[in-house]
Amino acid sequence: MKPTTDAGPLLAFGAHPDDIEFGCGGVIAAEAKAGRPVHLVVCSRGEAGTNGTPPIRTREAKRAADLLGATIEFIDLGGDAHFEERAVHVIELAGIIRQVRPATVLTTSTVENQHPDHVKLGRMVRDAARLARFGGLKELRRLSPHAIGQMFFYAVSPEAEPTDLGRVLVDVSAPETVACWTAAMRAHASQMKTRDYAELQLTRARLNGLRAGVTHAIPLFPADALLVDSLASLGRAARRF
């Protein structure tokens, strides 16, 4: 299915300044290129990272968002490596959902064997999407309730890919999409001192693309079963029978 300009905003959450770019940056690039409003929410400044200071990482994230064609904001959920699943944080995330009013939300997967901030953020965003619908929530009465259309988890690493959920492969093969995504990942130059994370993600995308008969694809994992009006609205299956 091709992105459309009238699909409603796309809202993506990341625990750290580079999560969105590395985990689903190609999807962000493709959606923004198609004219869809995209907003990124980064929930720490990477304070606990081995490389890069919070000001450096903030600048890198802003540069990456500009390259992707997205807007960006930063919030504080306790600091890098200090996330806690608290009602006050979930309600704050729900408020952002009400403000942006997205059709689609992307967030980090909840697979346990990864950075604990990713796991906790994924759970909190999932819960926030539900609370955003509740009109009686006193802390959010200033904002109209909002129900999203779909939520997808993304995996920052192969080990974080859920095995108990279905998957949707998003074709990001267009050369301009790959170039934009690559530039956005490489904007996080401080993180490349550990390893070439951009090449790692591109290799993952090539492997997923080869499985589906395209050059690059990124997996997303739906939080709930997808509802379609017609089978004709679906793209082809990844495997050619």
Query: Rounded to whole angstroms, how far apart are CA atoms 17 and 27?
Result: 17
- Give the model's confidence band at 236: pLDDT under 50 very low, under 70 low, under 90 confident, else very high: confident
Asked whether the predicted pLDDT for residue 110 surpasses 60, the reply is yes
133's tokens: 């619908």
Q: Quick one: which of 2, 17, 7 has its CA closest to 173?
A: 2
- Give the model's confidence band at 1: pLDDT under 50 very low, under 70 low, under 90 confident, else very high: very low
Query: Rounded to whole angstroms, how far apart are CA atoms 183 and 28?
Result: 13
Where do the domains of the chain lie? 10-225
Are the CB atoms for 146 and 189 separated by under 8 Å?
Answer: no
The pTM of this model reads: 0.95
**Three-state SS string across 152-217, please?**
EEECCCHHHCCCCCCCEEEECCCHHHHHHHHHHHHCCHHHHHCCCHHHHHHHHHHHHHHHHCCCCE
Asked whether the predicted pLDDT for residue 123 surpasses 90, the reply is yes
Specify the fold of 10-225: Rossmann fold (3.40.50)
